[in-house]
A and B are shown apart, each in its own frame.
Chain A
Amino acid sequence: MIKKEIGSFLKYIKLSPIILFLILSYFLFWKIKNIQNTKELQSVLLNQDLPKLELEYVDSKFTLNSLLGKKPFIINFFASWCAPCREEHTVLEKYSKDLIIIGIAYKDDINNVKKFLSELGDPYDILMLDSNGRAAIDLGLYGVPETYFIDSKGKIKYRQVGPLTVKKLENILKSLKVN
């Protein structure tokens, strides 16, 4: 009786490589199916509080602390030496009246930043300088331009890697409102 039971158990054991293969195949299929989601680089800091950033204020209507946890805002990392930032700047200019935008100049020279803004317009309510790029690393920045969407509770809700377009920004704002 016991031998019979062991025998039937062994039959299942023999099938285990096939079962394992099927599980692994399904896992890989699921990964490939969801590959679209990985194209958007998600931040590990999503839904977490905005970390304390060590930055130098250049020009501001108010301080970051007066906004944090009270109003939603956008943090945009840019640089005067970055070509895609120029492209993105027109989009930020267009939305500057509707959104609170904080500009952080990444590894830049203050004179070059001022020249860049006087040439293309200044959409920023607060302008800060991250001269050594340490604040950027605290936010997990890959490069410029990069934009972080902070909600009224002070939590990071979305990270956009690369330049924003009108369509992208509209979609992000829509999805953030829904959520």
Chain B
Amino acid sequence: MSKGLHIVPLECILPLLEGDQIFGADFAVILQSLAKPSTIDGASKTDINHLCSRVNNYLLSKKTSYRWIGCKLFVVINLHLKVMMSNQTVNLVGSLVKILESHCYIDDFTCSSQQQLLTLNSCCEALDFIIDRIQSKPALTREILTPKLPSIINGLISNITLIPQSALLVLRKLLTKKSTTFRPFGMKFESALKTLLNNGDNLNKMSTPLITLALHCLATISFTLSREDQGSLWRSRIDDLLIETKSVLSIYEEILDTSEDEDFESRYKSLPRLPEDISQLNLVFEPLSIDISESSLEVSKISKRIELLTRYITAYLDVTTSSAVRIPLGQFICLAELLAGMNLRFSSIKRDIRDNSTRSMIRLSLKDLNQIGIAFLCTLQKRFLFDLIPHYYTIFSTLDSCIPVKTHKGKAILDVEEVVENSELEVSVLTAATVLLSMMHTFSDSSLLTRMIDSALLIVEPQVPNIDEVTKSTPSNGKNGKGKKKSGNMASFSDLIAHQDLFTINASRNTLVKVRKFFTAALSRCELPSSSTLKILRFSVLDAVTHVKSLHHGKRTPLNKSIIKLLEADVLYPAHQGVGISILPIISSLLGGENTIMSLLNNPRLPVVSTVLDMKQKLKEESEEESDESEEEEEEKEEKVKVDAMDISGDTANKRKLNSDEPSNVEKAVKRIRTEKFRRVQEEADKAKEVPMALPEGVHQVEETYVETSVTITKFTEPAEADSKLDNDDEDNSDFELPPIIAGDDDDDDDDDNE
């Protein structure tokens, strides 16, 4: 980038810094040369003054391009303390302020040139730079910054409509750090910000960071400049905002039967009470005026205003307060749940609203509200993390209620069409769920995740256009044009029929990343049912195969990070029950030799502590299978041998569950065979270690002594695990067992198989 640039001495630069002569040289080279300490350190005071006055000339010029050049030169020369501490800096800052005050000679604010705007932006950046450099240095601040600060603030406020982003960034900084000087400009700044936002009408006309910045400034100014207790002022503003939001929400009571929804009612009551006299409301924005009989589009104003208000509340949570404030977290969560949970399933549209367009607008508006509610919930999660945990289950239930379901044969099943239609909302739900899951290390209620997993799998499925639907919507107006239109349409539909794959729409990269993150969190935090785990495993393997080129043998890059993390979660958190086939070989093949976790799993470095499997449950299941299917004896034996092989290797003991039922005869027989088998293998292993050992039936406990004695003595007692385990887990209904993943046991397994 700048490596090829040569450094030019100051003597050569000075003659160039006059009028159009600067265009005779490469501007980047001049800037870089001036930024070098060697260029300025050796220069005489005369040269420095010369340089500063040349820069000042550019800044004071009436030509836009010269002023822009001046701004850039100002930044680089002030990198040097020699220049910054000179008397010239005050003049230079004054010249910058003049550019702001003159609005860079923009006469028509609605039609300003790009050059003028760039110059104003550069001027703001230069001021921002010098303020950063000077502040926290008391003498410099006193001499240079403080005298110019009022004119800087005034100039910036007057330019908010022209260069909102740059001006607001500097103003926000000054607002928090120079609040005393800022105080006289508070009202002016507030009204400028409100004009910029225009009661939320400009919400869709500005970029998200700019709106956030404007709201942040508006929130800060509302309590920072006051001489009252800031903490109580912050709280009263928040209460006002919650009341204002509630008043807007009350409009929905006019169009929906909210009385049918108990949750809505209770949450609505949890918000601060509306004053009896509406005129007592301290509204931040002007009251809404909605007439749905005039236009159905008016309905969208409600959700738009609520979005503005929730974003304004978020801005209040982002500000820096000087002391601790009382945050009504419960009410925030209530509001988020209220918005996310509003649904026509629970509160239908009032019957007196018959206009179809109005009804569909209300439906859309509710979907917007859901999205706003979940976005608000996400912001709360980011800011308060653990403080949300007392509300953990209610939040999860709200998220679950956002997934569309329909009733089929008396059962609530996923509404596939609705899920696909509102995939953006579903992605937001999954994102919020991922953050929630990541908060805790364990989550026991897997039932809340089942529907989310199913909807996640739906939204990442490629969408193939429905040919019937497309052909149905073909218009057939009049007899004359019918034949022609049909043939024309048929021609265009031929592609759809012949090359349907060309019309397939795949999930966006962002959606895929969010779904993968959700699956990773679900696998690592929750004991999922085996069916859900299998679905995730299937997705992760297919996804990895689809993106095999970006896997880079398991080496993490920003592009494949989420894929690899999911694959790693697959092997680190295997299914707790019912998955008989290990996914380890597949993942090892996919991630290859570059992945550190796979390397460690495949080549364990430390000897692992021996563990033992409890096979009671396993055997019970098998006996049930046998009695149900009345299999042949030989097959039974084969099964038992299989079980034995798994028993000995014993890696997944912690995944199995104890069962206190009495063992059946078949079980006893199997147990006897298993024990004999186990004993034989143990004997072989002991022989290899040259330690005499003999295991009685069903015993796994070993006593060892050492320190003084060099010979290990072994003796056997009853299994300890049965005593120590007090709380049994759920029954294992699985048909499969995870194959063991244990170092050094491969040989044993092979031997058993051979036998």
Partners in one complex: no
